[in-house]
Structures are given as structure tokens and as C-alpha cells.
Amino acid sequence: MYARTVTKKEIHTDFPDTVPGEQLLDAVPELWFLTDGEGMIRECNSAAETSIGRPRTELRGTNIRLLIIDSSLFLFEKIFVLACENKSAGEIELSLRTASGTELKAIAHLTLLQSRNGDSRSVSVVFRDITERRRTELQLLRFANAIHYTINPTEITDPDGKIIYVNPAFEHASGYRREELIGEYPNILNSGKHDRYFWKKMWQEIVSGNVWRGEIINKRKNGELFYTELLISPIIDPSGTLVGFIGTHLDITEKKRLEQQLIQSQKLESIGTLAAGIAHEVGNPLTSISSLVQVIQRTTSDSSAREKLDLVKNQINRIAKIIRELVDFSRPSNYETRPVNVNAVIQDAVNIVRYSKKAKDIPFITEFDPGLPSLLLVQDQIIQVFINILLNAVDAISIPPGEIRVRTFVQKNHVAIEFEDTGHGIPPEHINKIFEPFFTTKTIGEGTGLGLWISYGIIKNFHGEITVDSREGRGSRLTVTLPIHS
């Protein structure tokens, strides 16, 4: 099938007088050029003039190859030859050079035009400008990569809140694979720590087209809680329609942990100061009372009175013991640090605790790292810490059989000691309180609530940490980490 060679004169005569052919070509948004078999431009439309930035009078007689960017020239030459052979090359993307020197991205489509007798050939060259499209695609690609590779967990949902995208950081933070999250709602991470009113208020805010920011507590796939600062932004298309939401999380779990440590340290500092004053104000009258009780015990022969005085004396001794512990904690230690074999100290602590009445039916399992380095510690203080932790583990195993496992190992530049029991565990609401002074779940008279508080202070003095991991009804694990000094 052959097409006639198109000339400017014929453009006018081949179309109805009411719609000139040249006017039709000028109405086309694509860049259109008509060249001869050598590529010399014979004619072009208004879109070509505007996009290239040169008038058609200047473009006529110019080789179209001069409009092609050097990197695209080889490709254009290839499709031009195919067009001259009346072979289709399809649509090819290449770049044009404008009069101002800027690059114009375009899709090229070339067609051979021949006269009926075949003695005249022209090539119709059409360029569809995709510069803005490519610019938009590049911008979208940048945004997509920024979201995909950011360290902040990010999720995108549809207008109903159903997850349609998560980045790798979100998978890592939540513990869920992408396939498990797509199609689910964000409440798959619900920790139960926020009430319905909290979520209802947040939803009302974002569906109104507003940005919502707040702190939330999520739950990982393994059941662990993690804190994030969440920013939810609505995604609105050019017509103003809400098409989805993007939520960006900033993991603040470590920040929360440090805040709790700071609060705990401030409490310890405040109570330490208070303890010194209490010990002075209470200690002196208590000593006088104790002396009077002893005098009366020696001078009375009334058995009933002596029995009651024994009770008074026992309570005085109990108060004195608490005061001594408060004083020991509140004042700087005068003990000298020296290299301590941690494995040996733990074994001594286990030997002391296992012979107590409560622990006689509880097996103690130790797994010591033989390569554990010695640490600069005060031995009397560190054994007190280990005994306190072990005694709490014994108390947690109220109904044998149960076991207590102690393990030591090196973790980076720290020595870690894990104390694990199979007791009743610690309720979630008590986890953050166990290192507070006078906090105890034991019955009155069984504990002062100072053991773990003092242990916490001793470990902090050695620049270490104590962490707790507990599941109610399944047991607890306390981990002591101490730095290795060179």
C-alpha cells in the first residue's frame, strides 16, 4: 500500500476548504516533521517549532539528524534506514536537542510516504514529547527509593486503611514478612495498650485530610512490645480525592528505655540522699530504744513481758537492718575494686542459696563460659547482687518442680550473666517497678523490697545494666551485663 508524497500545497488542497490540512497538522500536540530520503526537513508543524524553539522557516532545509542528541543518533539512524526501506521499527525512545540546549525526551515513530508511481519518497517523523513524564517518573522513582531504603519503618494503605505496601525496615521492625502484611490492617501490630477512643480519634483526624502524629506501642510478631513515634499523612490526588495514607514510624524503644533508666537513676539519687537523712534521724532513737529493751529484758522476770520484749527487739533489728542497707546504698563504697573471677563468685552465690530451706528441692543448672575474663569489681558487693537475684528466683518458684539456670558468656565488650527461672513470672504492670525501693509482692515480713533496688544501684556503680524479660506464668530472665575493662 502506498501513500502519496505530501507537500505543503497538497496539504491545502487534499482537505476540505473549511479545515485546511496545515491547520490540522498544527493542531496535533506531537512534533511532526516531513523529510526527504536523506533526512532534510521539508516541513514541520507548530508543535515542532514550539518544542525545538526554532521557526519552521529555519528548520526547513535542516538535516533532522542535527536535532538528535549524540547519544541517540545511532539509534535514530537505524530506524530511519528501516523506514526508508518501508520496514516498521515500532516506537523508539530517544532524545532531541532544543535551541536552548536543553534535552527533550521523545518517542519517535517513522513512516515512509511514497507517490503512487514510486518516484518520490518522503519520511513522516513524529516525536511524542515525554520529557515531563520521564521527569515525573524519575521523581517518583526517587521518592520510591527514599521510602524503600529508609531506616524508618514505612507503610502505605488504601483509603480504608488496608496495607498495600511496607518497606524492608517495617518488615524488620514488626517481624512480619511483606507477604504477611499486604492486605492486612495495621491493627495486626495492635498491642492492646491503646483504647478504642485513641484509635477512633486518630482515624477521624486522618480521614479529614489532616496529618496525625503521636507515640504508639506496637507488638512484634514474637510478642515483644516496641515504641514508635508515628506520622500519618493522607495521600490526596490532584482532584482532591483521598486515595490512601502513608505512615512513617520512628523507633523510640531505645529512647524509652534510656528515659526509664534516667528516671530510675534520679529516683536512686533522690532516695539515696533521703536515706542518709532517715538513717541519721531514725538510727539514734532506735539505738536508745534497743538499749532500753535490753535493760528491761535483763531486769524483768515476767515471762509474758519478756516474750513481748523479744517481739519488740526482733522488729527493732529488722528496722536496723533496713537502715543499714539504706546507709550502705546511699554512701559511696569504700571497698577497693580488684580482678574478680565472675564464674567463681556466681558458684559461691549458688552454693549459699541452694542450701536454704526454700531451695532444697530446686535444681540449679550452671553453664559457665570458661574463657570469661576477670572483671574489676568489689567481690562482696557483686556476690550480694547475685544472691539477691537468686533468692528472688527461688521465691518465684512457689510450687516445685522448677529450675533455676545461670549462664555466663561474653557479649561484644561485656560479660553477660543470665539468671533464668521457671517460676510464676512477673505481671507486665510490675516489670517497671521491681527495681524501685520497698516494692515487693511478698507478704509483710518476708521481704523489705530493697534487694533488687540495692542490686540495681551496685550494678550501675560498675557501669553495668540489669534487664528483665518475663512472661507471666512461664518464668523470668534477669540479665546482668558488666563492661570488660582493658
Residue with grid cell 550473666, as numbered in its chain: 417
Dihedral angle computed from the Cα positions of residues 84, 85, 88 and 89, in that order, rounded to the nearest 10 degrees: -70
Confidence of residue 312 (pLDDT cuts 50, 70, 90): confident
* Residue 141 resides in a domain: no
Under the phi-then-psi rule, with left for phi > 0, alpha for psi from -120 to 50, and beta for the rest, what region is 90?
A: left
* Residue 421 resides in a domain: yes
**Residue 7: per-residue pLDDT:** 45
All three cell numbers of 8, joined, read: 505543503
pLDDT at 213 over 90: yes
* Residue 260 resides in a domain: yes
382, 345 contact by CB (below 8 A)? yes
Strand 465-471 and strand 163-166: the pairing is: unpaired
**Residue 440: per-residue pLDDT:** 66
* Residue 77 resides in a domain: yes
* Residue 145 resides in a domain: no
* Residue 196 resides in a domain: yes
458, 363 contact by CB (below 8 A)? no
**Residue 1: per-residue pLDDT:** 36
Identify the burial level of 231 via C-beta atoms within 10 angstroms of its C-beta, where 0-12 means exposed, 13-18 middle and 19 or more buried.
middle
Are 122 and 16 found together in one domain? yes
Distance, CA of 344 to CA of 402 (rounded, Å):
24
Residue with grid cell 537468686, as numbered in its chain: 390
- pLDDT tens digits, 421-460: 988 888 877 777 777 766 666 554 455 556 787 888 889 8
Q: What is the mean pLDDT of residues 262-275?
A: 63
CA angle centred on 166, ends 164 and 167, rounded to 5°: 150
Are 417 and 442 found together in one domain? yes
- pLDDT tens digits, 181-193: 999 999 999 988 8
Structural domain that includes position 269: 256-330
Integer CA distances (angstroms), 47 to 56, 70, 81, 292, 305, in order: 10, 22, 25, 112, 116
**Residue 233: per-residue pLDDT:** 94
Phi and psi torsions of 180, nearest 5°: -80, -20
Where among 251, 273, 289 does a domain terminate? 251
Distance, CA of 95 to CA of 162 (rounded, Å):
41
Distance of CA 448 to the CA centre of its chain: 40
SS3 (DSSP) at 171: helix
CA angle centred on 96, ends 90 and 98, rounded to 5°: 150
Number of domains making up the chain: 4
481, 411 contact by CB (below 8 A)? yes
Are 167 and 301 found together in one domain? no
Identify the burial level of 441 via C-beta atoms within 10 angstroms of its C-beta, where 0-12 means exposed, 13-18 middle and 19 or more buried.
middle
**Residue 263: per-residue pLDDT:** 62
Closest by Cα among 352, 361, 355 to 384: 352
Ranges 24-28, 55-59, 123-127, 183-187: which has the least confidence: 24-28
Q: What CATH number is given to the structural domain containing 398? A: 3.30.565.10
- pLDDT tens digits, 392-417: 888 888 666 789 999 999 988 899 99
Are 354 and 395 found together in one domain? yes
All three cell numbers of 102, joined, read: 536543553
Distance, CA of 55 to CA of 181 (rounded, Å):
57
64, 32 contact by CB (below 8 A)? no
Q: What is the mean pLDDT of residues 263-282?
A: 66
**Residue 118: per-residue pLDDT:** 65
Q: What CATH number is given to the structural domain containing 124? A: 3.30.450.20
Confidence of residue 269 (pLDDT cuts 50, 70, 90): low
Distance, CA of 363 to CA of 405 (rounded, Å):
8
339, 376 contact by CB (below 8 A)? yes
Are 398 and 474 found together in one domain? yes
Where among 229, 251, 273 does a domain terminate? 251
* Residue 139 resides in a domain: no
Are 363 and 471 found together in one domain? yes
Are 231 and 286 found together in one domain? no
Are 184 and 261 found together in one domain? no
Are 440 and 424 found together in one domain? yes
Closest by Cα among 137, 130, 138, 109 to 51: 130
Are 246 and 260 found together in one domain? no
In this structure, which long-range contacts are made by residues 18-25, counting pairs with CB atoms below 8 Å and at least 24 apart in sequence? none
Strand 364-367 and strand 212-219: the pairing is: unpaired
**Residue 448: per-residue pLDDT:** 53
Are 62 and 198 found together in one domain? no
422, 397 contact by CB (below 8 A)? yes
Q: What CATH number is given to the structural domain containing 293? A: 1.10.287.130
Integer CA distances (angstroms), 381 to 17, 248, 451, 455, 461, in order: 107, 46, 12, 8, 11
Closest by Cα among 482, 219, 214 to 372: 482
**Residue 265: per-residue pLDDT:** 61
**Residue 11: per-residue pLDDT:** 41
Where among 233, 251, 269 does a domain terminate? 251
Are 324 and 343 found together in one domain? no
- pLDDT tens digits, 322-373: 676 666 655 555 557 789 999 999 998 888 788 777 787 889 999 999 999 9
Q: What is the mean pLDDT of residues 107-126?
A: 84
* Residue 29 resides in a domain: yes
